[in-house]
Amino acid sequence: MGYVRTAGMSTAARRRRRRAALVLTALVALLIAVAGYAVAYYQGWLPGTEGGDIDQVTATSTAPSLAPSDVTVNVYNASGVTGIAGRTSQALSTHGFQIDAVADAPAGTQTPEVAEIRFGAANQEAAELLATYISGAVLVEDTREINEIDLYIGTDFVELEPAPGDSPSATG
């Protein structure tokens, strides 16, 4: 009977060791996975984390001290939707923006997803003001020295509503 009892304890001890080895292996694997995720997150390798093009800055929600009447905007249609640049320029003018050019985007222009607001270094505040009116717009600084900003309308652009109390037919 002693032999049977020893063999039974030996099997239980082997099972405990095997279970302990599996648990420790799983914990080490989990620790390695968490460390890998942390490295990928801080390096910007994961989708949705910051990284990429230095020239692009997402629109901020801080309201600049500039008035829309002080901002001149060129509106370019890069979406392919007929008339969207005209309707957007009319809506912007009801909000007080000065509109200079309204046209299709120049040939070879890369189509943005929602919209791009291109501006020179001196017009960053004006670009940020325009971005408060256009949800999802991306600010792109370029080397221009003129006092105008360009709005390139993209394929996922949601049309801007005119200011309350103004109708689109009132501007023309």
3-state secondary structure of 160: coil
Residues 98 and 158 in one domain: yes
Give CA–CA dist 90/43, Å, rounded. Answer: 43
Q: Tens digit of pLDDT for each residue in 99-116?
A: 999 999 888 888 788 899
Give Rg (Cα) of the chain. Answer: 29
Q: Provide the pLDDT for residue 164.
A: 84
Residues 37 and 83 in one domain: no
Residues 76 and 120 in one domain: yes
Q: Provide the pLDDT for residue 90.
A: 93
Range of the domain at 46: 1-52
Residues of the chain with pLDDT under 50: 52-54, 63-64, 168-172
Give CA–CA dist 152/133, Å, rounded. Answer: 14
Residues 30 and 75 in one domain: no
Instruction: Report the largest interatomic distance among the alpha carbons of the chain, rounded to a whole angstrom.
Output: 105
Q: Provide the pLDDT for residue 54.
A: 45
Give CA–CA dist 92/9, Å, rounded. Answer: 83
Q: Which two tokens stand for residue 140?
A: 């792109």
Residues 12 and 93 in one domain: no
Residues 75 and 25 in one domain: no
Report if pTM > 0.75. no
Q: What is the DSSP code (8-state) at residue 132? A: T
3-state secondary structure of 104: strand
Which runs of consecutive H residues, i.e. helices, occur in 44-134?
Answer: 84-94, 124-131
Q: Provide the pLDDT for residue 8.
A: 60
Task: Tell me the DSSP string of 22-64.
Answer: HHHHHHHHHHHHHHHHHHHHHHT-STTSS-S-SSEEEPP-PPP
